[in-house]
Structure 1
Amino acid sequence: MTERNWAGNLAYGAERIARPGSVDELAELVAAAGRDGRRVRALGSRHSFNRIADTEGLLVETGALPALIEVDEPARTVRVSAGLRYGELAEVLDREGWALANLASLPHISVGGAIATGTHGSGDGLGSLAAAVAALELVTADGSLLRLRRGDADFDGAVVALGALGIVTALELDIEPTYDVAQSVVEGLPLDAVLADLDAVTGLTASTSLFTTWRDPEVIEQLWLKRRADAAASDDLPPALAAMGARAATVKRHPLPDVSAEHCTDQLGVPGRWFERLPHFKLGFTPSNGDELQSEFLVPRERAVEAISAVRSLAASIAPLLQVCEIRTVAADALWLSPAYDRATVGIHFTWLPDQPGVEALLPTLQAAIAPFEARPHWGKLFDVAEAAERMPRLYPRWHDFAELRARLDPAGRFRNHLLERLGL
């Protein structure tokens, strides 16, 4: 039976998919593939919408490796197996009195895969999930285990590495004492008012997300506000938003119009544990499996208003293919291939209808419109690769440094695949 990704929009091209039950077994698989001249790639929770995790050789699922969650209280870190899902990690951490600073909108994604692609949540002061990495362990091309810690010469190049350096087996993540978050939703913000002071809107809470369908290019339909409970969380409408004519939602909302909010995390200002509010969706339910495609483009914060305005100019072309567009923020980091490398960042995320030909036909136009604003595509989502490849060395100042690191750790190219080659790696 052909195996597919989360969205079902691609079938993996690998000769086989292996599910090693130990790091030793994984190391032997990688070493044997190297001796046979085959390529190898890691496969996590399959939430990539492009072929970043595919190969014509051997795919190795990391989810079957032994589950590992080891808290180091003095260091304020947790060592975790790369194939574990964030929601599973979060529940254990919280029981022990600890938390992560940030989570993505889905708690269902694997730790290793999310970090390798620079995946993120939202928050002016919150880095991507990769920014929390304090150390990582990976099986390299000859089957040996390499460990890198924050501060090591190659560390900043190895965290967001697109699977190009080896198979990551475990990571250490920064943790902090557990905390509560309250989530509320505000509706009906005039887009012009938001763009007039985007910083003020995104800075209202620790984590803020804006949603629009672009059916009405003058309106942000929903604003999701996630306040830490120690920041006086409530369901009150912030005065700045009231002045814009916005209104507080009085019932629980889903980001997509007219979709049941049953499986969304709780709202209406009711405080809950951090892992039950920072994601948009509950761990116990798998949303949108096979019902959507995704793209995302991340721009410097100082160019965000221009980029959003450029997207708005295409609203008539975007809306027929779109379920919802989310605008969110990410703090700068120092990781070479992170979309937030060296700059505070705003992500413009598109949840598309499952119409791949239509989306692929639109992407060159969309990317051309936002290219002047240094838009970096999300590594694991749909983008026009030919257009992006020409700009990669300009978009990522450490691009050539990463290429040299890849060549040094994997000289025979065992972890390369067609997508990396098309991107110039």
Structure 2
Amino acid sequence: MEKRTFLKLSSTLLATPVLSPLVGLVADEKLKNWAGNYEYSTDRLYPAKSIGQVQELIKKYPKVKVLGTRHCFNGIADSKDNLLSLKAMDDVVALDTKAHTVTVDASMKYGQLAPYLDGKGFALHNLASLPHISIAGACATATHGSGVKNGNLSTAVSGMEIITAAGEIRTLSRAKDGDAFRAAVVHLGALGVVTKVTLDIQPTFLMRQYVYENLPMAQLKDHFETIASAGYSVSLFTDWQKGRINEVWIKQRIDKGAKVEPAAPTYFGATLAKKNVHPIVELSAVNCTEQMGVPGPWYERMPHFRMGFTPSSGKELQSEYFVPRKNAIEAILAVERLRDQVSPHLMISELRTIDADNLWMSPCYKQPSLAIHFTWKQDWAAVRKVLPLIEKELAPFSPRPHWGKLFTMAPAQLQSRYEKLPAFKQIVQEYDPKGKFRNAFLSTNLYGIVG
């Protein structure tokens, strides 16, 4: 597979005069997201290299949105007016070894921060499937990894700095700001421009991962909790065919001094893989993190894909729905019933568990969850017809879609899933009274205003 340059703008950003838009970056090439499925509504992209420049841009324009690593598959970060890039602001601001926190510029990517922390003897509690995403963007949309005891990435946030629509700098912390903090962490880009994030850290650790192939779905029905708890992080991949889970990825933490037992050759009817594999079995595993039980740093095992390579399959579409973990089996079987409608358009599905949290707009708010993820072939016309079928089958479990992925759920239905939404809107009104940061996605999904 070819390597992908995720941010085509990197050299351009550094060479462009401050406050000048990056218009016409490549002749006849429109600004698109990572997968190429979404074309942004403006080519006015303004780079900022300092807090002062961010404030100046916010004050200058009546409408603006921050564009990060562009890994969202919908219009949550889009603007038809002006886009702001903080790509140049990606440094470690402070490492507090006593408080076990690290403060970073919001545009830093996990793939940058992780090796730095490991070199200092520290680790994050979890990582997503790929490390190429920005910390601020991932936290704003409640992006997650896996593990029955692991909250999503946003749960590591203990402080943040945000610039409001008035250009004012506000700092929030878990320790001091209560509801205001719990509302702001998963903010969906509605409150302002996050410029710094403080994350909880812990002592570094090693991990290993094994993959088992062809787990009978019947075993999952009878032993879901055991299988989901088999490692620090567990991912189940399926194409919904042949009554099976194609691959079980078990990522085990190796604590200092603990005895490490070899992996069993079979696991609930699945067999131990004899070589590294890709979640999509037809693809090469060269871009995947090391398997076969080889110990390595936490940040080289928790993601599925290495920082230096193309993540996942390249051009694709993604959808994901969170359901209560207590309904995991029923929800899985509901999707399995749609296998003949789903499979023709599917690359692979992934099932992951995420612990509950208290962040108002998180899909895991007060709810230990199962996330049912779909990596689709890049055919939106076909996927658009399948998503309502999935949403209907999952409706008894009140699914919450991933904020940064594709869904067709009606705004009123989506809004009903978030009990703190009215209170969140009040805080949005405080931070952004004239809707400077509101776009079509937020107007539709949070306010029910279509058009």
Q: TM class, shorter-chain normalised?
A: over 0.9
Is the contact between residue 352 and residue 370 of structure 2 (CA under 8 Å) also seen in structure 1? yes
**Aligned to 2:236, which of 193, 210, 228?**
210
Provide the C-alpha distance between the structure 2 equivalents of 1:261 and 1:161, rounded to a whole number of angstroms. Answer: 35
Match of 2:436 in 1: 414
Provide the C-alpha distance between the structure 2 equivalents of 1:245 and 1:361, rounded to a whole number of angstroms. Answer: 35
**Aligned to 1:196, which of 213, 216, 222?**
222
Task: Report runs of 4+ in structure 1 exceeding 4 Å deviation.
Answer: 231-235
Residue segments in structure 2 that go unaligned for 5+ positions in a row: 1-28
Match of 1:376 in 2: 400
Query: TM-score when scaled to structure 1?
Result: 0.95
Is the contact between residue 30 and residue 43 of structure 2 (CA under 8 Å) also seen in structure 1? no
**Aligned to 1:390, which of 399, 412, 419?**
412
Provide the C-alpha distance between the structure 2 equivalents of 1:234 and 1:397, rounded to a whole number of angstroms. Answer: 45
**SS state at 1:51 partner:** coil
**Aligned to 2:328, which of 289, 299, 304?**
304
Provide the C-alpha distance between the structure 2 equivalents of 1:341 and 1:296, rounded to a whole number of angstroms. Answer: 16
Is the contact between residue 7 and residue 289 of structure 1 (CA under 8 Å) also seen in structure 2? no
Query: TM-score when scaled to structure 2?
Result: 0.90
Match of 2:252 in 1: 227
* Residue pairs, 1:288-327, within 5 angstroms: 288=312, 290-327=314-351
Match of 2:352 in 1: 328
Provide the C-alpha distance between the structure 2 equivalents of 1:257 and 1:115, rounded to a whole number of angstroms. Answer: 30
Moved more, 396-405 or 176-185: 396-405
**SS state at 2:416 partner:** helix
Is the contact between residue 182 and residue 233 of structure 1 (CA under 8 Å) also seen in structure 2? no
For residue 203 of structure 2, what is the amino acid of its counterpart?
P
Aligned residues: 415
Match of 2:26 in 1: none
Is the contact between residue 8 and residue 290 of structure 1 (CA under 8 Å) also seen in structure 2? no
Per-residue CA deviation, residues 227-272 of structure 1 (Å, 9 max, x unaligned), is: 001264454128xx63x32110010010001110011000000110
Per-residue CA deviation, residues 368-414 of structure 1 (Å, 9 max, x unaligned), is: 11111111000000000xx3412233311111111111111111011
Match of 1:337 in 2: 361
For the structure 1 residues 289 and 325, does the alpha-carbon distance in structure 2 shift closer, same or farther, using more than 3 Å as the test? closer
For the structure 1 residues 66 and 373, does the alpha-carbon distance in structure 2 shift closer, same or farther, using more than 3 Å as the test? closer
Q: CA deviation at 1:418?
A: 0.5
**SS state at 2:392 partner:** helix
For the structure 1 residues 290 and 12, does the alpha-carbon distance in structure 2 shift closer, same or farther, using more than 3 Å as the test? farther
Is the contact between residue 208 and residue 226 of structure 1 (CA under 8 Å) also seen in structure 2? yes
State the Cα RMSD in Å. Answer: 1.3
* Residue pairs, 1:15-414, within 5 angstroms: 16-33=44-61, 38-151=62-175, 152-153=177-178, 154-216=180-242, 218-230=243-255, 232-237=259-264, 242=267, 244-288=268-312, 290-384=314-408, 387-414=409-436
Provide the C-alpha distance between the structure 1 equivalents of 2:284 and 2:259, rounded to a whole number of angstroms. Answer: 29
**SS state at 2:286 partner:** coil
For residue 202 of structure 1, what is the amino acid of its counterpart?
A
Residue segments in structure 1 that go unaligned for 5+ positions in a row: none
Provide the C-alpha distance between the structure 2 equivalents of 1:66 and 1:398, rounded to a whole number of angstroms. Answer: 32
Is the contact between residue 305 and residue 312 of structure 2 (CA under 8 Å) also seen in structure 1? no
Provide the C-alpha distance between the structure 1 equivalents of 2:233 and 2:446, rounded to a whole number of angstroms. Answer: 35
For the structure 1 residues 392 and 329, does the alpha-carbon distance in structure 2 shift closer, same or farther, using more than 3 Å as the test? same
Is the contact between residue 415 and residue 446 of structure 2 (CA under 8 Å) also seen in structure 1? no
Q: CA deviation at 1:213?
A: 1.1
Provide the C-alpha distance between the structure 2 equivalents of 1:283 and 1:289, rounded to a whole number of angstroms. Answer: 14
Is the contact between residue 295 and residue 378 of structure 1 (CA under 8 Å) also seen in structure 2? yes
For the structure 1 residues 44 and 263, does the alpha-carbon distance in structure 2 shift closer, same or farther, using more than 3 Å as the test? same
**SS state at 1:52 partner:** coil
Is the contact between residue 359 and residue 365 of structure 2 (CA under 8 Å) also seen in structure 1? yes
Per-residue CA deviation, residues 283-320 of structure 1 (Å, 9 max, x unaligned), is: 01122475111000000111111111110000001101
For the structure 1 residues 255 and 166, does the alpha-carbon distance in structure 2 shift closer, same or farther, using more than 3 Å as the test? same
